[in-house]
Amino acid sequence: MDRVLSDFIVSLRHAGVRISISETLDALQSVRLVGYNDRETLRDALLAALPKSAPEKEIFARCFDHFFSFDYFADADATAGPDSATVRAATDFSLPRTLLSGDQAALVMAMREAARAANLMDIRFFTQRSLYTLRILDRMGLPALDAQIQAMQADGSPGAAQQASALEKARTFLVDNVRRYVAQQLTLNTPTATQNLLTSYLRHAKLSMLEQQHFQDMHSIIQRMVKRLNDLHSRRRKASRRGQLDFKKTLRKNITYQGFLFDPKWKKRKIERPDLVVICDISRSVMRTVRFLLLFLYGLNKAIVRIRTFIFCSNLIEITSIFDEYPVEVAVEKIRLGADLPILMGRTDYDQSFRDFKANHLDSVSRKTTVLILGDARNNYAEAQTGILKMIYERSKRLIWLNPEPPPFWGTGDSEMKKYIPFCSMVKECNTLHHLEGVVTSLVHHRH
């Protein structure tokens, strides 16, 4: 494959453009047709073959301008002095000879080859610029050039001194251009590296510690996670993969045909769509975790999961209808503000909230229901109401409690967590996006 095109595609992928194998082959064919002589024609050909969306086309334009910049060693002729022919004849080193001849194409080619050998595509941080610059210069032959300059300076003759001066000028010219080239590659790779670091940080950061400026990034990360889960669990099985032959069902179904197997039956994989009842503590200490959990759950395809949602602080109310009326981001914001909701935002009262649920919503729990409770179980020293929780546990398929506090804090102070644990199918610490992803993934996985 064309090495220049291969490096360009790697740069595009680092910058966030999704490029498949077939699109790579299309781009290769386009380059074979138009070549590299006309920059604008090359740009149009690759633009038609590689990026797909408007954001990807913007990334492509930026990467193309940086990658196919032909101004490296553009002033190579300036390094050639009046006696450059004498220097070229007197030396056996290819780098000095190429520098003093002013051969821009050869210098660019040598720099790109050295960069490939030095794995410049792996550069991610500005602190690596000097390291990669030295690696490229070494592979281009800088140590031999320095030795040549030192030998000429040691000679002491006027001619040797003049030649050494010309090579010193050429050396400075070479280092400046390699540094610019390394900085260009860093520019191409930095956005993705920075984004990957930010994503990794946000996935494992405590949700309660996040600042408002990161909320939009969190929403984008959740959307990607949800899309992956929707794609995975909404995918229909192809007829060619419908399963193994079910002999028992086939024989029973074909009894009417006197044993001829006209109507074969196949073993099918049952996809279970969980019914969720979500009960969330929306006191200030838990609200941010609730926000991202609801964004996660309500981003899922309705064909994957059915959800009824309740929130509580001093009392408990159902808010499922809000998510039916508004987009999930708007609904979550309405819940956070408590606008036009009969929710009492006083002291957190698990006692009253569980009694409200028993009185008005206990029939929403059945043997097919997974109950998900998100709260820190801090009840301001009120009654724990474990009897009602036990009743919910016995009526449900399973009861999962997510606590944003780490386990060492459970049962300390006014926390009733240790009293609730015996009536839970599963208890998990949940205070990062990584925790939420694990819980939601376990809820929507396929079952036989």
What token pair was written down for 103?
A: 């051969």
Say if residue 84's pLDDT is above 50. Answer: no
pLDDT of residue 7: 78
**Cβ partners under 8 Å of residue 158, min gap 6:** none
Per-residue confidence (pLDDT) for residue 420, from 0 to 100: 94
pLDDT tens-digit map of 155-204? 878 778 888 888 888 888 888 888 888 887 777 766 555 566 667 777 77
Residue with the larger pLDDT of the pair 288 and 78: 288
Tell me, what's the pLDDT at 234? 61
pLDDT at position 88 over 50: no
The residue type found at 380 is N
Query: What percentage of the chain carries pLDDT values higher than 70?
Result: 85
Cα dihedral 377, 296, 358, 272 in deg (nearest 10)? -120
**Arithmetic mean of pLDDT over the chain:** 81
**Regarding predicted confidence, which is higher, 19 or 447?**
19
The residues with which 317 forms a beta bridge, in sequence order, are: 311
Higher pLDDT, 219 or 318: 318
Q: State residue 404's pLDDT score.
A: 92
Residues 362-420: tens digit of each pLDDT: 999 999 899 999 999 998 888 877 899 999 999 999 999 999 999 999 989 889 999 99
pLDDT of residue 70: 61
- How does pLDDT run across 297-346, given as a tens digit for each residue? 888 877 667 889 999 999 999 999 998 888 888 888 888 877 678 888 88
- Quick one: residue 311, left, alpha or beta (phi over 0 = left, psi -120 to 50 = alpha)? beta
Lowest mean pLDDT among 53-57, 266-270, 381-385: 266-270
- State yes or no: pLDDT of 238 exceeds 70: no
Per-residue HEC secondary structure of the chain comes to CCHHHHHHHHHHHHHCCCCCHHHHHHHHHHHHHHCCCCHHHHHHHHHHHCCCCHHHHHHHHHHHHHHCCCCCCCCHHHHCCCCHHHHHHHCCCHHHHHHHHCCHHHHHHHHHHHHHHCCHHHCCCHHHHHHHHHHHHHHHCHHHHHHHHHHHHHHCCHHHHHHHHHHHHHHHHHHHHHHHHHHHHHHHHHHHHHHHHHHHHHHHCCHHHCCHHHHHHHHHHHHHHHHHHHHHHHCCCCHHHCCCECHHHHHHHCHHHCCCCCCCCECCCCCCCCEEEEEEECCCCCHHHHHHHHHHHHHCCCCCCEEEEEEECCCEEECHHHHHHCCHHHHHHHHHHCCCCCCCCCCCCHHHHHHHHHHHHHHHCCCCEEEEEECCCECCCCCCCHHHHHHHHHHCCEEEEEECCCHHHCCCCCECHHHHHHHCCEEEECCCHHHHHHHHHHHCCCCC
Residue-level pLDDT at 154: 83
Tokens of 277: 């009842």
pLDDT at position 448: 37
What's the half-sphere exposure (Cβ side, CA atoms, 13 Å) at 296?
Answer: 24
422 token code pair: 């015996």
Predicted pLDDT of residue 89: 40
Q: Which of 235, 239, 331 is nearest to 278 (CA)?
A: 331
Tell me what pLDDT residue 328 has.
Answer: 84
Pairing of strands 426-429, 306-312: unpaired
User: Tokens 């609904």 appear where?
Assistant: 331
Q: Place 93 in a pLDDT band, splitting at 50, 70 and 90.
A: very low
Q: What is the pLDDT of residues 104-152, one digit of tens each?
A: 778 878 888 888 888 887 777 778 888 989 999 998 888 888 888 888 8
Mean pLDDT of 36-65: 85
Q: How confident is the model at residue 239 (pLDDT cuts 50, 70, 90)?
A: very low
Mean pLDDT lowest among 16-20, 82-86, 352-356: 82-86
pLDDT at 395: 93
